[in-house]
Amino acid sequence: MKSVYLGLLLVALVMLMPMASAQSSTMSVHAKASQSSFTTSTNPAIVGTVMDASKNRLSDVTISIVSSKGVKTAKTDHNGSFLVKLDKIYEIGIHKVTITASKQGFTSVSSSVNIDINNPVQILEPIQQIPTAIGDGITNNPVSKFILEQTEIMKNQAEQFSKSTNEEFINTQRMLAKQSLEKDLGRFASENLAYQPQNAFASFVKGVDESVQGIFWAQFDFTQQLTNQGKAAKEQVLKNGGTSYEATQAFQRKAISHREQIIAVNNQANIQFGNATESVQNQFDVKGKSLDRLYSNTME
């Protein structure tokens, strides 16, 4: 009886041994589209790698890719990588493809990838020139010759139109820039109106006794006259090619005021605005000193 049990046990072990040897290892496939999207005029491509359970790349793995256009097969290289080009897909949208990896001794594994198909963007090359003749058959044909001549005329007209349109655009931009500048200058002048020399001086004179305001204005006019002379001299030097330093010196020479000039202006203003008589003003010399006092000092 024991021998029967031992025989059955041996048979069971023999049957289990092939089953154990038939167990397969696992592997994984990692795939993606070679780019984010494709056009209807290009062939989509799938790239990827196959690795075993220990993350070692597997070579010579059969790759089968099923798409709406059929099945494409390939094998992984020595690095466990693959690249499979598919047939062109002319339907716009997202297309799903299935990737299956199989190798003897390993359990087959599948994965899926979405492919995005877009419309191709066509960029037309600019026309550099229009042929005027294509063999004697066209140039000798009156109708064809007329068409070529008209085409050349239209080309010249298009170039002239483009040139005139560009010039018109530039002129418009210049006009707008000039208007903007004039507007800004006007606003600047308006904002600084109170700070201009004459307006600022007028604001000051308002606080002075009215009986002497005319004298103050006479002094202001005298100062402005000298300033204008200085500016004219400076501009003339610059116009003649002089340096900035030379122009500044010319301004200072013409704009300088002397004591005798100021006294003379004050004397005339005092008489003009009734603050003194001519006889009173004549009692002072050109330096503003009293003649009587000078005479008394001389007598002493």
Question: Which H or E run contains 256?
Answer: none
pLDDT at residue 124, rounded to an integer: 53
13, pLDDT greater than 50: no
Q: Rounded distance, CA 282 to CA 126, Å?
A: 91
Q: What is the value of pTM for the model shown?
A: 0.35
Residues in the chain: 300
| Most confident of the following: 123-127, 248-252, 266-270 | 248-252
Band (pLDDT 50/70/90 cuts) for residue 94 is very high
pLDDT at residue 78, rounded to an integer: 92
204, pLDDT greater than 90: no
Q: What are the pLDDT digits (tens) for 105-117?
A: 999 999 999 999 8
274-278 LR contacts (CB < 8 Å, sep 24+): 275/211, 275/212, 275/215
12, pLDDT greater than 70: no
pLDDT at residue 277, rounded to an integer: 73
Tell me the percentage of the chain whose pLDDT exceeds 70: 77
Q: Which residue has the higher pLDDT, 281 or 63?
A: 63
Q: What are the pLDDT digits (tens) for 205-257?
A: 888 888 788 888 888 898 999 899 999 999 999 999 999 999 999 999 988 88
27, pLDDT greater than 80: yes
- Say which range, 17-26, 104-113, 164-173, has the weakest mean pLDDT: 17-26
Can you say how many angstroms the Cα of residue 189 is from the centroid of all Cα atoms in its chain?
Answer: 32
Distances (CA, A) of 12 to 4, 5, 19, 20, 248: 13, 11, 11, 12, 120
Q: What are the pLDDT digits (tens) for 173-197?
A: 888 888 888 888 888 878 777 778 8
Give, in words, the CATH class of 27-118.
Answer: mainly beta
Neighbours of 244 (CB within 10 A): 10
Angle at 57 (CA atoms; ends 56, 61), nearest 5 degrees: 130
Band (pLDDT 50/70/90 cuts) for residue 122 is low
Band (pLDDT 50/70/90 cuts) for residue 128 is low
